[in-house]
Structure 1
Amino acid sequence: MTEEFFDAVVVGGGPSGATAACDLAKAGHKILLLDKAGRIKPCGGAVPPRLLADFDVPESLLVARARSARMIAPSDRKVDMPVGVIGYVGMVDRDVFDEWLRERAQTAGAERRTGIFERVERDDGAGPLVCYREGRGGELRKVRTKVVIGADGARSAVARQNIAGAENMKCVFAYHEIIRSPASTKEGFDGDRCDVFYQGKLSPDFYAWIFPHGETASVGVGSANKGFSLRGAVKTMRGDLGLAGCETVRTEGAPIPLQPLKRWDNGRDVIVAGDAAGVVAPASGEGIYYAMTCGRIAAIAANDFIVTGKPAMLRRARRDFMRLHGRVFWILGMMQRFWYSSDKRRERFVEMCADPDVQELTWQAYMNKRLVRAKPMAHVRIFLKDCAHLLGLRPVAQ
């Protein structure tokens, strides 16, 4: 039997893996995109308009455009943050969005297969062997490749088997329910607004959310506390907001990484991307844009490795990504560790969100995916206000 060979095997067909497979196929390489069947990640589905432009994604994939966000404090104080004239928060359904990305990769020339990754083997041949099964208990198949791209999620089997320290990735566990959206509820559901709950009763160390998806909505919560009932928190939210009677379309749960891995490659022939690399923004939990950016950067590194055969090319992926987004991830990580640690601090955090300077720079950073430098005095004002909150010098507004 003739041995199958691919220039690259991409394990995982989410936004990161599908983007990497598409870019490499467009570059003329022979690509295998290997993905599990029927897996949808729990996700609020928020994407900035920049994602559509950077990755040539049609607006038709947006199921809603949120024009504001509402922050809800432990005291139930509500602070609205309108997006204003600079844009909107696009909302996608992951089942449709991810499949569209996979189909695009296939159209670009990548071969799609449904299968469950098992391991990477090495023998005397030129390149590693990727071993997978077409289904649970199915026949074991092997294909040879030059490079393996692991884009198989936060508990990545590719990463844990091939990259030192990956097994210790810290995660938040997320759970959400996709429900049929009501027109509105007197308790406060709004199909044009993203609601974010900073309340210890709903999450002791992260947040809960309700994100509109047009005909449906995502009601979810995240927490790293394994003893905390995520399903119970969602049930509470649905009851409080008049959503208990809405039809539940589906439920999903999965770990979400808290910080990027310290290493993304094995120094030989394996590289990881997306959640497998840990590129979900701390504090906000935003992952789709960063996953696709990471997939593209990993594809560039993999292309250079395929062309040159130099493993050092793979190390460039993490360096290049962190140069673009490392500072934002660090700041958001500090925010999460401090502001999410108690209800008293969550109360002050929501109060800060009422500040016009905070709102403007938050939305500018979200839309542009970088720290905004255009208004240095606004940064100074925010710094001084933040220090006052940290020191408890500002009373909490009632």
Structure 2
Amino acid sequence: MTDTSIETPFFDVVVVGGGPAGATAAERLARAGHSVALIDRAGRIKPCGGAIPPRLVRDFDIPPELLVARIASAQMVSPSDKRVPMPIENGYVGMVDREDFDEWLRQRAAAAGATRFTGGFKAIERQDGATLVRFQPAGKGEDGVPERCIATRLVVGADGARSAVGRHSIPGADKVPCVFAYHEIVRIEPAAKDADYDPVRCDVYYQGRISPDFYGWVFPHGETASIGTGSAIKGYGLRPAVERLRETAGLASAETIRREGAPIPLKPLKRWDNGHDVILAGDAAGVVAPASGEGIYYAMVSAEMVADAAKAFLATGNAKALATARKAFMREHGRVFWILGIMQTFWYRSDKQRERFVSICRDKDVQRLTWESYMNKKLTRRDPAAHLRIFFKDLAHLFRLVSP
């Protein structure tokens, strides 16, 4: 039951979850003149490699000081331990620490006018035509802190994969396929002195012993690094897998600063809204790229589209406007997600396939087009001859006409 002795404030929008999606949606809506409440759990840090493309830095005005590293290349490691370098020409991959990055985004939302609340989402209730968001405020002896309620016209669920807001309101939100990811943030020095480690290189391990259906990573974060892996296989031992990865990377002795784990969705939900007063964004909407697991950019882009849909809904009262967010996202990025989903299904299913996948990454056309697409977040359409060459090389690998 809600404690009605505490005054129930009203906001145009309540955003549940203060990660990149939630903070971006809150900032955009507050900047447009709407009253916005942003609710986020205390001490929440998502396990994440922290990679962001230059387009995100440009489009979302991210200050350079938030980048803890600028990656100049990747190293793909096959099951047989073959190492394929993939240098980045005319660009970089930015790395952020989610603890600092997410808080900066929340502060920007507050500076735009959003009101921050710290606590955990409990439920959505509807009374006398009003939508109420119930949450448990953070504080000492939380059991003794009464729950609070906020009245609103619209709830934006940006509370991560298997979103509580989504499960509460959107049919099918509890059935999104997920990879469970786990990583350890480690202090690099002095362990890196004896390791095959480069502070401006991301290492990606395509090895069944690290993950039977995903990949492992070592991503530099300046003085620290993220070392992790993921799997959709229930019961797979992620901690032992990361121990093996650290041993393989020569970083077993590195000091562990923190450990984090969370599900990562790998398919956009078929519906993001309930046709009434709830819409999802970011991981809650399932917008993490298959194969790569990249989520920060897509979370923030989805939040922009959700904010645009929310503004239209608030202006007109027409709940059909909420469905435009997913349509806009899929129109812009659906083809990329479809291609990456096929890649993951085919190339990650066995070590034989992973060996061939890493072999393909040696190709200069593959490298150039991959990085161009990543940095600009579009499938590059120029140089059709390069695409044709890649197509025939892929066929050769598919039909075992070449050795890996």
Tell whether the structures are fold-level matches, with TM greater than 0.5.
yes
Aligned length: 394
**Superposition pairs for residues 1-398 of structure 1, below 5 Å?**
2-84=7-89, 86-125=90-129, 127-135=130-138, 136-137=142-143, 138-182=145-189, 184-396=192-404
Paired letter, 2:126: R
Please give the secondary structure, in 1, of the residue aligned with 2:389: helix
Please give the secondary structure, in 1, of the residue aligned with 2:214: coil
Matches of 2:249 and 2:271, distance apart in 1: 43
Matches of 1:34 and 1:42, distance apart in 2: 20
Is the contact between residue 170 and residue 257 of structure 1 (CA under 8 Å) also seen in structure 2? Answer: yes
Is the contact between residue 187 and residue 240 of structure 1 (CA under 8 Å) also seen in structure 2? Answer: no
Measured after TM superposition, the shift of residue 316 of structure 1 is 0.2
Matches of 1:153 and 1:358, distance apart in 2: 32
Gaps of 5+ in 1: none
Is the contact between residue 195 and residue 251 of structure 2 (CA under 8 Å) also seen in structure 1? Answer: no
Please give the secondary structure, in 2, of the residue aligned with 1:128: strand
Is the contact between residue 95 and residue 221 of structure 2 (CA under 8 Å) also seen in structure 1? Answer: yes
Deviation string for 1:221-253 (max 9, x for gaps)? 010112211100111121222212211111100
Is the contact between residue 185 and residue 241 of structure 1 (CA under 8 Å) also seen in structure 2? Answer: no
Partner of 2:3: none
Is the contact between residue 121 and residue 131 of structure 1 (CA under 8 Å) also seen in structure 2? Answer: yes
Matches of 1:163 and 1:12, distance apart in 2: 17
Measured after TM superposition, the shift of residue 120 of structure 1 is 0.6
Matches of 1:34 and 1:213, distance apart in 2: 28
Please give the secondary structure, in 1, of the residue aligned with 2:298: helix
Measured after TM superposition, the shift of residue 185 of structure 1 is 3.8
Decide which moves more: 20-29 or 138-147.
138-147
Please give the secondary structure, in 2, of the residue aligned with 1:122: strand
Matches of 2:20 and 2:403, distance apart in 1: 43
Matches of 1:332 and 1:139, distance apart in 2: 46
Measured after TM superposition, the shift of residue 2 of structure 1 is 4.8
Percent of pairs identical after alignment? 62
Measured after TM superposition, the shift of residue 115 of structure 1 is 1.1
Measured after TM superposition, the shift of residue 182 of structure 1 is 2.6
Is the contact between residue 27 and residue 108 of structure 2 (CA under 8 Å) also seen in structure 1? Answer: yes
Deviation string for 1:249-268 (max 9, x for gaps)? 11100000011001000011
Is the contact between residue 185 and residue 242 of structure 1 (CA under 8 Å) also seen in structure 2? Answer: no
Is the contact between residue 50 and residue 368 of structure 1 (CA under 8 Å) also seen in structure 2? Answer: yes
Deviation string for 1:81-108 (max 9, x for gaps)? 0002x21010000000000000000000
Measured after TM superposition, the shift of residue 392 of structure 1 is 1.4
Is the contact between residue 180 and residue 262 of structure 2 (CA under 8 Å) also seen in structure 1? Answer: yes
Measured after TM superposition, the shift of residue 186 of structure 1 is 3.7
Paired letter, 1:70: Q
Paired letter, 1:14: G
Deviation string for 1:111-151 (max 9, x for gaps)? 001011111111213x3111111135331111110100000
TM-score (norm 1): 0.97
